[in-house]
Amino acid sequence: MLIPREELQFDFQGARFNPSSDGDRRLLAWVFDQFLYGEVTGIQCGWWLYRAPHLDAAVFLARQAGEEFSHVRRFLKIISLLKEKPGKAHAAVRFLSTGMMGHSWGEHVAIEMALGEGLVLGVFYAMIDTIPDPEIHRILSTSVVEEERHVGFGEKETQAWLQKHPSSRPLLLGLALVQVWGLRFVKRFINKTLTRKVGADHPVMSRFEAFYEHSLRCFETRIQRLGLSEVPPSRLSAAAKISLIALLPFRMLGARFRFKTQLLTKTYLDDPALKDFVPPRE
């Protein structure tokens, strides 16, 4: 991955949740409600499987769909261990997961996989480090390996897409800025609502502000390393940000026509996996 685990992880300095505490249990259940929604959006793999640009991508998406739905079962198990019922995801999480579903392969692999799943991966690491329950720890440790693979694939495909379609860079950067705004909205909700339930002096939540800023810095670092921006988005001028956002609807509309992908049933014989095929000698 462009950001290794050691760089993405945040040091909670030994702070832990207490799953036997009612407040912690409800807070953790809310967190896993957000994860649950994100994994259910694995149905979107079907959309992209139908539009995969090459055979290797199609094979990967078919496998990913199965992994996402296995995560659904795993998170339901965690919610049951917390003695809670599944609940709705926050509106901003729903928007970031499904409202920003792209219309081109580049939008999907950059915004949803490399950046979106990359952000979730950091939260996975945080949950592993702060939840002492051995069963929850086991479930998350298994899931995180698959999530790392999804992020790595998204990064590789994003870089390949940008080499082929460098003109799509402003579109993808504008969408990434929208993601940043959505993430800051979620942060305000957590600070105002959830932290109040467990108290500002909670061992983990007292580190939440620093963790969130660390996550956003990593998010911006990934944007740079993907090649979407030469500087962190937070250092872009106000004029540059306004331009990227103002032109975003027009760029999104144009992308629907400029970056259409032919179905594999029409292109498979030109796929590298088949063009490089050498029949065995008798």
C-alpha–C-alpha distance, residues 79 and 72, integer Å? 11
Say what the pLDDT of residue 282 is: 65
How many domains does one find in the chain?
1
Q: Is 281 inside a domain boundary?
A: no
Say what the pLDDT of residue 185 is: 81
Q: Is 156 inside a domain boundary?
A: yes
C-alpha–C-alpha distance, residues 2 and 11, integer Å? 20
What's the pTM value of the predicted model, to 2 decimals? Answer: 0.90
Q: What is the pLDDT of residues 92-117, one digit of tens each?
A: 888 878 877 888 999 999 999 999 99
Q: Is 244 inside a domain boundary?
A: yes
C-alpha–C-alpha distance, residues 12 and 4, integer Å? 18
Sign of CA dihedral 16, 19, 25, 31: positive
Question: Which residue is associated with the tokens 């219309």?
Answer: 103
Question: Which residue is associated with the tokens 């990227």?
Answer: 244
Q: Is 221 inside a domain boundary?
A: yes
Q: Is 272 inside a domain boundary?
A: no
Say what the pLDDT of residue 198 is: 74
CB 170 within 8 A of CB 258: no
Q: H/E/C letters for each residue in 72-112?
A: HHHHHHHHHHCCCCCCCCCHHHHHHHHHCCCCCHHHHHHHH
C-alpha–C-alpha distance, residues 37 and 19, integer Å? 21
Say what the pLDDT of residue 43 is: 79
C-alpha–C-alpha distance, residues 98 and 128, integer Å? 26
Q: Residue 129: which CATH number?
A: 1.20.1260.10
Q: Is 173 inside a domain boundary?
A: yes
Q: Is 4 inside a domain boundary?
A: no
Say what the pLDDT of residue 277 is: 74
Q: Which pair of tokens denotes residue 8?
A: 């993405």
Q: Is 270 inside a domain boundary?
A: no
Residue ranges of the chain with pLDDT lower than 50? none
The range of the structural domain enclosing residue 82 comes to 17-261
Which H or E run contains 243?
helix 238-246
